Structure formats: C-alpha cells, structure tokens
Structure 1
Amino acid sequence: MPKPNDAEAVPLLDLSKPSSPISFPIKSLQDLESRSYFDSFHFQFNRSTVPLRGDLPNNRPRVLVCHDMKGGYVDDKWVQGCENDAGYAIWHWYLMDVFVYFSHSLVTIPPPCWTNTAHRHGVKVLGTFITEWDEGKTTCNEMLATKESAQMYAERLAELATSLGFDGWLINIENEIDKEQVPNLMEFVSHLTKVLHLSTPGSLVIWYDSVTVHDHLKWQDHLNEKNKRFFDLCDGIFMNYTWKESYPKLSAEVAGDRKYDVYMGIDVFGRGSFGGGQWTVDTALDLLKRNNVSAAIFAPGWVYETAQPPNFHTAQNKECEVNWCTKIEEGFGETKKRESVPRNLSRTGLLRIGTGGRFGRERGQLRGATVW
C-alpha cells in the first residue's frame, strides 16, 4: 500500500491530561507492550457504545471497504465532533459487510464514530496493524524474537479490540523478515485469531497479501502456496490490488469452501487495479461477481481527495449508487440493504452522514451553534 501524502493530523498532546477527547494510533511496540493506551485520558472516550447487529453472511461474497483517507485521523479524530461540516463521510453502509480503518501507524485504532455508525448497520469494523520497509523489519525483529513475544503482542492487540468494542484487525506485514522468524509470525497470526475469537465472538483477523511464507516481501495478487498458510490461520485474506483477470478464479479454486474469505483488492485511485478504478470500479466488481469471491474496495476517499465535481455529496452518491450499488446488489447475494438496515431506521437514517447542528438556548431563544 502506498504512503500517504499527508502526515497524520494528531495533535502533540500529553495524552494523560484532560483535553478535548481525540482518537489516536499507537506508534511503537513499547507503547503497545506497556498498555499505556489504557492510562490515557482519552481511552474511555474511544470506546464504542453501539453493539454490532448480526454477523457476516456465509452464503454469499462480501464487500470490505478499506478507509485510507489522507493518512487517517483527520476530522474524525475529534471524538466529540469538530466544526468542519465539509469533512469526509460515508453513508452507503447498506453496501458493506466489513469496514477497515487504515493509517500507516503501527497500530491504527478506529475512532468510535466509525464503529458506532457501522455497527448500527450490521457492518464489522477492523483496525490495522502494519509494519513497513526498514523500520518495519526492525519492529518485526523485536516482535517475532520468540514465540512468547509474538503471543504477547497478539494478546495486546486482542485486548485493544475487545476493550474498545471494535471487531478485529487487518494484519499487514509489508517488509522482509528473517527466515527463522516465519514460524513466529505464523504464531502471531494464529494466536491473535484464537484469543480474539474467545474474547470477542464473531471477531475477524484478516491477513494482507504481503510478505510470503518464504520471508520475501512479494505481493502475490492471488491466493497460492506462498500466502495460503497465513490465510489458513485466520479469517480471511485481503489480496493486493494489482491482480490480473484470471486471478479471482484461481484464488477461488485454491480457497475451496472458503472462497468468500478471499477479498480481492480494488484500488479506487486506480493504481494498477483491474478495470482502472475511479469511475470504473464496477468493472472489477463484475469480474469478482462472476468468480464468486469477495471484494475489498481500497481508498474510496478518492472522490473527496481529488475533489470530483460538482461537489462531494453528489460525486459520492454517483460513485456508490451508480458505479457500485448495482454490481454489489446483483453479484453479492441478496441486497445488503435488506440484511443490515434496522426495521426502525428510516431512509433518512440510512443516509445520515454523521454531521449535524449543535444548538443551545439564549434568553429563551433556540440558537444554532457549531456543527458536529
């Protein structure tokens, strides 16, 4: 996955002292091991409050959407809202099964606004654990030094997800590792999956197609003998998004009964993706539909980041409803909307984007204030 153009916009604060509550990532193994996150003033504010409705369907392909928006933690880092009513939002939850919050920090924890909203619509939310390049290799050398260290860090990740109320992790090891550490990496993935399933029933651990069982960083773009052992240890695999036309069929054949656990990546920016991404994401979706595997749509914020005309809301509706909706509803089983929308949720509620007005009274008069 490419590096973001924008640095993470997380304020430099003493996280132990009271301030406006924020969401933030964990950037070092030391902070993960020490459990310092739980000593933060902000911890309690980052717990989701809405339980997940339902579970993943096991009788059809699924749709995973991977948020990659300007490096993460932009307007959404403000737990109690901010004054930007033109920030990025998603409101087509009825098209999704899994939502991944992504950044390039070591441990990306989803802000609770995403988890609460997704849970209302029956969508599971995953954080991201990522190591990259030279720094990532150093991190892996420490994390995978022993079987016990691999298990310990896996338990820390499971504890975070369970304590904060989100549903699991995307694991992305995008760096070379030492050959002798491959068994410990497998233990890390296996132990995380087992512990998380015990502490959070219905949770997910998904492996990103990156480092292989032969210790090389070489994206395979399809399920094969070089990445299947990781797939076998967890709940699914997110295939890199530069796959060729024949790869969905090959992946389905290798996965067998678990073909719906193969999520073929589609980059909305179009960086090497089949069909070109952007306004032609439906080309890739159509191929995945015909081969009966799941889809992983990466960086849907393309519409917002590139300021597609005439405005964000109109362009977002075009992207989702025109380019995705028909393919998803035709090819991914029964309409997701019928499965996920609560009976007491109106069409207005279905499309709510997570912003609104904050009001107060002044001398008996109701007055508008800032947005949330």
Structure 2
Amino acid sequence: MNRPQPRPAAPTRRTVVLAGAGTAAALLAPASAGSAAAATGDRAGGARQPYASYWFPDSLPAGDPGDGVTWRSLMAWRPESDPDLAFNTSAVPLAERFTPVPVNTTARTGQARITSLVAFGNTAGNPSQGSATADTYALNHWAYIDELVFWGGSAGEGLILAPNAPVVDAAHRNGVPVLGTVFLPPVHHGGDLRWTRDLVQRDGAGRFPLAAKLVAAALAYGFDGWFINAETEGGDAALGAEMLAFVTDLRARGEAAGLRVTWYDAMTVRGEVGWQGALNAQNTALFEQADSMFVDFRWTPATLAASGRAAEAVGRSRYDLWAGVDVESTGWNRSVDWDAIIPAEGPHTVSYGFYRPEWTLNHLPDDRTPGQFHAADQRFWTGQSLDPARPDRAGGWRAPATAVADRSTVDRLPFATTFNTGHGLRWYEDGRVSSDSEWNHLGLQDRLPGRRWVVRTEGRAPSVAFDFTDAWRGGSSLLVDGDLDAPATVELYGTRLPLTRRTVVELTHRTDAQSGPVTVELAVALHEPDRPGDPIAYTCVPAGELRAGGTGWTTSTLRLNSLSGTVRALGVRLTAAGPVRWRLGALAVRDTVRTPSAPAGLRITGASSGAGGTDLRFGWHRAPAAPRHYELHRVLPDGTRRFLGGTCGTAFFVPGLRREPGEKSARFQVRAVGELYSTSGAASVAHRW
C-alpha cells in the first residue's frame, strides 16, 4: 500500500491549538461563580488537586484501584464534564521553527531527527500544574528534539495518558509537538487483550468510536497526537486487521486537525506481538498509516539499513523511522552503535529516539540540586566538551549536538527571555524574592539559548551555566564565571528578527561580589556563516562597564538604528582582566511596548480545609490578546505580595494556605504577563476565613 499523498492543505497546529483553546474557553468560561464551580467540577464547593488525565479504553480492571488512583473510561469521557479540563489545557500554540547554519561541521540539516519518550511522573498523581519542589526533570534542550512523547501507563492505573499543560506549553513555545501515549502492556505487566479489543471496537455504523475520542481529547487538551504502543500478546490476524483499520481511521481523523500518530514496533499486521527491530513486511502497512514508527531496540546495522530502504520503497522518508536508544538505566554510558544510525561519513541511516532521557536527573543523588541536573543534562545533549562548536565523542557517547542541527523559534518581535528554566529554589520579580519556596512549572520556562554553550575567545574560556542563587525574574539567571585574559563572546540565540528604526535591545545584568569590573557588549549578527562550523561575524554594540563587587541589577537599553536588515544571531561579548562573575537576568528585543490587558472574573471555584491547611481552586476569564502567562499572588496584611504560582491557562490550584495573624480574609490577585514581561492590572478576589 502506498502512503497517502502529502497534506498541503492541513491546518497547522498553531491554528488548531488556538482554535481548540478558544473552544475550550467557550465551553468553560462561566458567567457567574455558580457556573464556574460547575465548569471546574467543584459543584460541592470542594477543591481537590488536579492531575494529568489518564484512562482505560473502555472496560475497567476487576477489583478496586489503589490509593490515589482513579479508574476512568475514555469511552465515557466528555470534555464538557471533565472537572480538570481547565487545569490541563495547553494555551500555547505550536510555534514554527527554522534551522540556522549548524555551529559545527558534523551536525546535519535535513537528516536524522530525534524523538524523546519521557516519563514526567507516575501515571496517577502527576500534578497538572507543577509542584512545590525544584527537583524535577526540567526538559530544556528543545533545539534538538522533533517530537516529545508523554510516556507512561500501567495496568493498575490507566493505559491512555494525556500530556499535562506545562509540558505541552513549554514544548510548543519551542516548536516541538507533544504526543500522548496509548500503552497496551505485555501480559507479564498486567496486560489484558480485552483492552486491545476495547480500543478497536466498532459502533453500529462500523466506525471506531475510540479513534474519535482520542482526537477529541487531543483537541480539547491542546496537544498534537498519539504514540500507539500495542504490546499485549495473544492476538490473531483478525485483530491485526482491526488494529490496522483503527490506525488508518485515527490518522484520517487527526489529519484534518493537524494531529499526528507514531506507531511503536510491537504488534504486527498478524495481530501478534513480535518486536521486529526493523521496518519489514510485518509492520510496513501500519507504518504507512502512521506519521512515523519507533523501531524497537532489537535493531542491528543491517536491519536499520534495510529499514531505510524499505521506507523509501513505499514513498516515505527514511527519517520517519526512529531507532530506539534506551538510556533509562545508563544514560551516556550506554553502548550504542552510532554508525548504524548516524554514520560519521555519509548520510544518516534513520532518525532515532531516546527512551527515558530523564536519566540525567534520576541518576543523581537524592540531595541533588538544579545546577547539578543542568550540568548532567548539558553533557547528555552537548557532549563532554560542553560546547557544540567544539564537539567531541570522548567515551563513545555521540551527543545530539554533534549530529543534529539545532532549531530555533526566535523569529518575531517582541522577543524576551529571563533565562527561567521552569523550576527554582525561589521566585524572583525585578531582582527581589517574592516567594522563598521551591517550585516547578515547565509552562513558565523561557525560550532558552539553543547552543549551550558556544564561547569564542583567544584566551581562557569562562564557564557558562544557568544559576539558581540569584535571578531577575523567575527562578534562574545566566552566569558567566571565570578569569578572563581576552575578550569572550558567548553565543546565545539563532534568530530571524527584523530590524526597524525603533528596534531596541535591553540587557538586565549585574556582577556578583566576587567579580572584578567587566565591559559588556551586545553581539549582533546580520548574516549567517556560509558553511557549517564557520564562526559568526558579530557587530558589537557597547552596553556599558559594570563595576567590581556586585552593584545590583542594571538595565542597559541599546538602540540598533545604525543597523538594518534581519538579526540572525545574538550573543554577548565580555572584556575583563581577571575574575568575572557576571550574570544576565533578562534580554529583550522590541520595537514597541504593550502592556497586557487585565484578566477579568477572578473567582474561587472550590475550597477545602483540613489539617494541611486550606486548598483553593481559582478560575478567571482569558485576557485579550493572548498574554504569555498569568501570575497569582497573595496580598499579605502588610500590603506585600507573595507569589503563589503561574500558568498559561485560566485556572490554578493552590494547596495548604493558612491564615495570617489578624487576617479576616485572604486576598488574592491575578495578573496577565506579556511577552516582554510587562504586567497588567490585577483582578482580585478574597477568601473569608
């Protein structure tokens, strides 16, 4: 069977997510406090922690679920009656991305791509909107990833997982589609063939109702499709034929909505589970009806080479095949035949997929810090050199930066970043701590530099890292630390930013107490190199000299009206003679400043009290012009504000609140935050103790 023709008229996920978000908002936007409670499922006035959604296809297991587990049927799911839909819906459309000229000579454009299968938490009990700890897998090397699978599922909890909103919002901001998982486990992991039969059941008209449900869930929650992993043994040819028809129907339904399907190499067209480690006669028909296939870890150099040829023989790209690389247990110590996938000489054979790269967090000791996680994660994605412009393959690990060209979404004004990684030990606003509690919420993550860290210097190269001991906004800043004996240029972003006569760049930066004086310049490139690996030619714009010893944050405003064209890359150039500890808290490129409109209708949609304090659910109406995100604060009796959390959506849950001394009512405010981090006026509400 030949693959269906390309779909040039299909809507983009940017369009579909915006439309889906609008539909969800219309469904859930209440006109009164009473209807708000109904919309969020708190009809009894209670407030419970919302979690990422998970289901069985239709029938439920025998017996009773374990503690903290809720058994649900996707067949019975309706978005309008989903009590947690507002907490789980992504609000960020899938951004378009482009590929700058690679920073080294070994990274290829238009060849192998990478998918990542990541378990961000347990199937059950995975909070919808982050949690009160900095110890989390804050995925951030989006520049090398083409698809993210929200991995999980178990026979005792649920088999179908919808990604939670923070993961989808962060991925979409960086142009990465996110797939939910349909996991039909092996029998020795509790699998039951009836769940496979449930999935592919037909209605009276011969249609597949659960294919329609999977598409409806993806649109309601705002993610991009499904990873289908059917591994339950015992099937026959008839079941195989039904699965092929189901996948065909799912993809056809999803095409119209811009969704995608990835098939895992497990079940064959005969209905049996037989991991092939290849594209061959046993699974080609299923591959043809999906957008891509994850090739099981049993592959060999010969089977991958044959698979690439087989894909092309049916009119598909060989790079629609992901060769599985299992890094769950050993990470970069995994022995991988890289030349079978991405040979150093000649074209890449196929694409590849990491299974469980959150090893970069999990292998660290229990008392790990965010800094330790980011150091390990950078080594995984960049290599031991920690500089993608100087790739190395020491130890046998071929890091993605050595083989795959990085991508960027920084292609329009305004653009701003505060180097917020999506977790932190505290929350900062304008350089001051507004909450001293640990936190994580991946949806608040900025677009971070894609090339970490390219440093050009004729002298000693300083270290560059995200640092969590001080920040301008969010939980982290960019720290450059070292003894400079020559100017050092730190490359940050590949961009496509149009310059106008009004274009301004703002740098918010400071020196630490241990630093000597440093001269700072903005590095601006108007042209890309002609060839991969060639250095970028920067024009340097003075940004001032910072004194030694840490004098506090300062913002340097630089006008670029002497330049014209399109900014192709941005960085900073530091000059000093001696020790430097310089941190960059924010970078913004703009031609206008727009203050977002305030949200309206802030209300408490549910409240519950217990020994752990009072839990509250909040909801509000979406502010006009789609702000970047919203931030919720508590106004204390002395008038100061304490940060409680942020979200890209219009609902938020806060646990464990306690009455302040002398307080009759707890007061809360929510503000919209724009792309330049300007904040709107506040919507307010109170909870009477």
TM range (shorter): 0.7 to 0.9
Q: Distance in 2 between matches of 1:69 and 1:292?
A: 30
Q: Could you tell me which of 321, 327, 331 is aligned with 2:403?
A: 331
Q: Distance in 2 between matches of 1:41 and 1:32?
A: 14
Query: 1:353 corresponds to which residue?
Result: 422
Query: 2:466 corresponds to which residue?
Result: none
Relative to total residues, which structure has the larger strand share, 1 or 2?
2
The 10-residue stretch of structure 1 (86-95 or 320-329) with the greater mean CA deviation from structure 2: 320-329
Taking the TM superposition and a 5 Å limit, the aligned residue runs for 1:63-142 are: 63-69=114-120, 71-72=122-123, 77-104=126-153, 105-134=158-187, 135-142=191-198
Following superposition, the deviation at residue 129 of structure 1 comes to 0.8
Question: Is the CA contact 2:301–2:341 (under 8 Å) kept in the aligned structure 1?
Answer: no
Query: 2:659 corresponds to which residue?
Result: none
Following superposition, the deviation at residue 146 of structure 1 comes to 4.2
Q: Distance in 1 between matches of 2:378 and 2:284?
A: 36
Matched, 1:169 2:241: no
**Closer, same or farther: CA 129–292 of 1 in aligned 2, 3 Å:** same
Following superposition, the deviation at residue 126 of structure 1 comes to 0.3
Query: 2:264 corresponds to which residue?
Result: 208
Following superposition, the deviation at residue 38 of structure 1 comes to 4.3
Matched, 1:185 2:243: yes
**AA paired with 2:364?**
A
**AA paired with 2:84?**
H
Q: What SS does the aligned partner of 1:269 have?
A: coil
Q: Distance in 1 between matches of 2:81 and 2:52?
A: 14
**Closer, same or farther: CA 331–316 of 1 in aligned 2, 3 Å:** closer
Matched, 1:61 2:112: yes
Deviations 1:167-217 (A, max 9, x none): 00000100132321221111110000010111x22x210000001112221
Query: 2:317 corresponds to which residue?
Result: 258
Q: What SS does the aligned partner of 2:192 have?
A: helix
Following superposition, the deviation at residue 94 of structure 1 comes to 1.1
Question: Is the CA contact 1:286–1:331 (under 8 Å) kept in the aligned structure 2?
Answer: no
Matched, 1:222 2:271: no
**AA paired with 2:328?**
F
Query: 1:318 corresponds to which residue?
Result: 379
Q: What SS does the aligned partner of 1:130 have?
A: strand
The 10-residue stretch of structure 1 (96-105 or 176-185) with the greater mean CA deviation from structure 2: 176-185
Taking the TM superposition and a 5 Å limit, the aligned residue runs for 1:294-309 are: 294-307=351-364
Query: 1:39 corresponds to which residue?
Result: 81
Over alpha carbons, which structure has the higher Rg?
A: 2
Q: Distance in 2 between matches of 1:214 and 1:322?
A: 42
**Closer, same or farther: CA 16–328 of 1 in aligned 2, 3 Å:** same
Instruction: Extract unaligned runs of 5+ from structure 1.
Output: 1-14, 271-276
Query: 2:296 corresponds to which residue?
Result: 240
Question: Is the CA contact 2:152–2:161 (under 8 Å) kept in the aligned structure 1?
Answer: yes
Taking the TM superposition and a 5 Å limit, the aligned residue runs for 1:286-301 are: 286-290=339-343, 291-301=348-358
Q: What SS does the aligned partner of 1:252 have?
A: helix
Deviations 1:275-330 (A, max 9, x none): xx521459455542223311111101112222268832322222222169654344
Q: Distance in 2 between matches of 1:80 and 1:38?
A: 20
Question: Which runs of structure 1 show a deviation greater than 6 angstroms over 4 or more consecutive aligned residues?
Answer: 55-58, 368-372
Following superposition, the deviation at residue 52 of structure 1 comes to 0.2
Question: Is the CA contact 1:266–1:284 (under 8 Å) kept in the aligned structure 2?
Answer: no
Aligned alpha-carbon RMSD (Å): 3.0
Q: Distance in 1 between matches of 2:357 and 2:415?
A: 25
Question: Is the CA contact 1:69–1:299 (under 8 Å) kept in the aligned structure 2?
Answer: no
**Closer, same or farther: CA 62–149 of 1 in aligned 2, 3 Å:** farther
Following superposition, the deviation at residue 353 of structure 1 comes to 3.1
**AA paired with 1:320?**
W
Q: What SS does the aligned partner of 2:74 have?
A: helix
Relative to total residues, which structure has the larger helix share, 1 or 2?
1
Query: 1:3 corresponds to which residue?
Result: none
**AA paired with 1:304?**
L
Deviations 1:45-103 (A, max 9, x none): 211000001279994321111102453466xx323432112122111111111110011
Q: Distance in 1 between matches of 2:168 and 2:121?
A: 19
Query: 2:331 corresponds to which residue?
Result: 278
Query: 1:7 corresponds to which residue?
Result: none
Q: Distance in 2 between matches of 1:25 and 1:305?
A: 24
**Closer, same or farther: CA 142–82 of 1 in aligned 2, 3 Å:** closer
**Closer, same or farther: CA 213–38 of 1 in aligned 2, 3 Å:** same
**AA paired with 1:95?**
Y
> Which structure ranks higher in relative contact order (CA pairs < 8 Å, sequence separation ≥ 6)?
1
Matched, 1:231 2:287: yes
In the superposition, the TM-score normalised over structure 1's length comes to 0.82
Q: Distance in 2 between matches of 1:146 and 1:163?
A: 23
Matched, 1:26 2:55: yes
Question: Is the CA contact 1:143–1:150 (under 8 Å) kept in the aligned structure 2?
Answer: no
Percent of residue pairs identical: 23
Q: What SS does the aligned partner of 2:282 have?
A: coil
Following superposition, the deviation at residue 145 of structure 1 comes to 4.4
**Closer, same or farther: CA 111–263 of 1 in aligned 2, 3 Å:** same
Q: Distance in 2 between matches of 1:189 and 1:146?
A: 13
Deviations 1:210-261 (A, max 9, x none): 0111222111111111111100111010111232233321211111142111
Query: 1:274 corresponds to which residue?
Result: none
Q: Distance in 2 between matches of 1:114 and 1:279?
A: 24
Q: Distance in 1 between matches of 2:167 and 2:271?
A: 34
**AA paired with 2:276?**
Q
Q: Distance in 1 between matches of 2:337 and 2:124?
A: 29
Q: What SS does the aligned partner of 1:34 have?
A: coil
In the superposition, the TM-score normalised over structure 2's length comes to 0.46
**Closer, same or farther: CA 152–41 of 1 in aligned 2, 3 Å:** same
Deviations 1:252-276 (A, max 9, x none): 1111142111011111035xxxxxx
Matched, 1:153 2:204: no
